[in-house]
């Protein structure tokens, strides 16, 4: 089949727009019913690596009708002070979801912070209880980047059942949850990392290749099976030939797109969809909180009958 270059690109923007439009409807109804959704972002210290993400979160939350508040803390804050701030947000009924932007300074144990967020307010899906849910095939709220990556693979129309998938990178926030989501969908999943003997040998067997490492041009054309779908999750800043800073992924897109049938562009691929999924997760969290509120304060049958 001959395909134009453009049809090979799996773009995140249109899928993100669809999700945001649906979130916007849900958010408007919830707001009218007295439950306005609100997201609180926590950044600690130097925020260069997260600036783009936070900027997009703010812009898309505004589009979706979700409140957005950014709390910035100095790099020398203690873990205890941060936990106290998170507990305050947990107890605040106006706050629907809390997202802790990574990275945080090395003296702060990120896992302790993630575990401090109440599971009902964990819109990133990074609390141990949330990660546990995806292991148990309960997939309605998954880590945003992983969910965005899998959603883009689904856009190809490929049947995930029995599909040979290789994931390069096994971080807790991206690689591992992608592997669990894909296993739940019936794919056969191989996970590679820095100790894998030959990433290339595994990658070449993949019908779908996910790459989340953080190394520009790690994946070259000779590592990709002809006709495969390539999902590039990397977001790396580098200085281009014109001297300007630019964002590139982990895949050598120009050469790989000649071999692959589908490839996600960077920017414009997984990134925009990650933000949309965060907003969708916020509505999932809101609905769970409302269900709990209803169970606690809804009119009990015997009173309603009087």
Ligand X SMILES: NC(=O)C1=CN([C@@H]2O[C@H](COP(=O)(O)OP(=O)(O)OC[C@H]3O[C@@H](n4cnc5c(N)ncnc54)[C@H](OP(=O)(O)O)[C@@H]3O)[C@@H](O)[C@H]2O)C=CC1
Ligand Y SMILES: Nc1nc(=O)c2c([nH]1)NC[C@@H]1CN(c3ccc(C(=O)N[C@@H](CCC(=O)O)C(=O)O)cc3)C=[N+]21
Cβ of residue 127: shortest distance to ligand X, in angstroms? 17
Q: Is 107 annotated as a binding residue?
A: no
Is residue 234 within the footprint of ligand Y (CB under 6 A)? Answer: no
The answer to whether 248 contacts ligand Y (rule: CB under 6 A) is no
Please select the residue that binds ligand X; options are 41, 96, 130, 274, rule is CB under 6 A. 274
Question: In the set 173, 259, 278, 279, which binds ligand X (CB under 6 A)?
Answer: 173
Opening angle at CA 169, ends 161 and 182, nearest 5:
15
**49 is a contact residue toward ligand Y (CB under 6 A):** yes
Nearest to 53 by CA among 282, 280, 283, 276: 276
The stretch near ligand Y (CB under 6 A) out of 52-60, 84-92, 250-258, 289-297 is 52-60
Q: Is 53 among the residues that bind ligand Y (CB under 6 A)?
A: yes
Using alpha carbons, list the distances in angstroms from residue 171 to 14, 176, 259: 27, 6, 27
Angle at 253 between CA 249 and CA 259, to 5 degrees: 140
Q: Coil, strand, or helix at residue 219?
A: strand
Note whether 56 binds ligand Y by CB under 6 A: yes
- Based on CB atoms, which residue is closest to ligand X, 26 or 250? 250
Cis amide leading into 15 (omega within 30): no
Binding mask 98-117 for ligand X (x = CB under 6 A): --------------------
DSSP E strand stretches across the chain: 38-44, 67-73, 97-100, 164-168, 188-192, 208-211, 229-232, 236-239, 245-248, 262-263
CA 4 to CA 181: how far, in whole Å?
30
Name the strand (E) or helix (H) holding 91: helix 79-91
Q: How far is the CB of 58 from ligand X (least distance, A)?
A: 16
Query: Which two three-digit tokens encode residue 282?
Result: 């916020």
Closest approach of ligand Y to the CB of residue 12, in Å: 7
Instruction: State yes or no: 87 annotated in a binding site.
Output: no
Taking a C-beta distance cutoff of 8 angstroms, is the pair 216, 236 a contact?
A: yes
Does 235 count as an annotated binding residue?
yes
Q: Which of 144, 182, 231, 283 binds ligand Y (CB under 6 A)?
A: 144
Site for ligand X in 186-225 (CB under 6 A): 192-196, 199, 212-214
- Measuring CA to CA, how many Å separate 192 from each of 167, 179, 234? 6, 11, 15
Interacting residues with ligand Y (CB under 6 A): 49-50, 52-53, 56, 100-102, 124, 144-145, 235, 247, 266-268, 271-272, 274-275
Interacting residues with ligand X (CB under 6 A): 145, 168-171, 173-175, 192-196, 199, 212-214, 233-236, 270-271, 274
């Amino acid at each position: 089949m001959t395909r134009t270059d453009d049809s090979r690109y799996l773009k995140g923007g249109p899928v993100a727009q669809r999700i945001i439009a649906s979130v916007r409807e849900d958010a408007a109804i919830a707001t009218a019913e007295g439950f306005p959704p609100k997201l609180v972002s926590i950044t600690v210290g130097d925020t260069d690596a997260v600036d783009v993400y936070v900027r997009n979160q703010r812009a898309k939350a505004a589009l979706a009708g979700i409140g957005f508040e950014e709390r910035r803390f100095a790099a020398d804050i203690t873990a205890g002070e941060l936990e106290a701030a998170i507990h305050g947000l947990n107890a605040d009924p106006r706050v629907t979801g809390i997202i802790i932007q990574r990275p945080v300074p090395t003296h702060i144990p990120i896992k302790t912070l993630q575990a401090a967020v109440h599971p009902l307010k964990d819109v990133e899906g990074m609390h141990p209880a949330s990660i546990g849910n995806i292991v148990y095939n309960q997939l309605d709220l998954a880590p945003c980047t992983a969910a965005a990556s899998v959603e883009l693979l689904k856009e190809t129309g490929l049947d995930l059942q029995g599909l040979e998938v290789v994931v390069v990178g096994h971080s807790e926030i991206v690689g591992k949850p992608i592997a669990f989501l894909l296993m739940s969908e019936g794919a056969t999943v191989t996970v590679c990392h820095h100790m894998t003997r030959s990433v290339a040998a595994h990658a070449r067997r993949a019908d779908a290749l996910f790459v989340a490492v953080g190394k520009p041009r790690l994946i070259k054309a000779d590592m990709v099976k002809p006709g495969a779908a390539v999902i590039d999750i990397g977001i790396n800043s580098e200085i281009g030939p014109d001297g300007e800073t630019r964002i590139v992924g982990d895949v050598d897109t120009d050469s790989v797109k000649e071999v692959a049938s589908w490839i996600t562009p960077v920017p414009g691929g997984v990134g925009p969809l990650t933000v949309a999924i965060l907003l969708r997760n916020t509505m999932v969290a809101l609905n769970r909180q409302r269900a709990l509120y209803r169970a606690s304060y809804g009119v009990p049958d015997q009173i309603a009958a009087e």
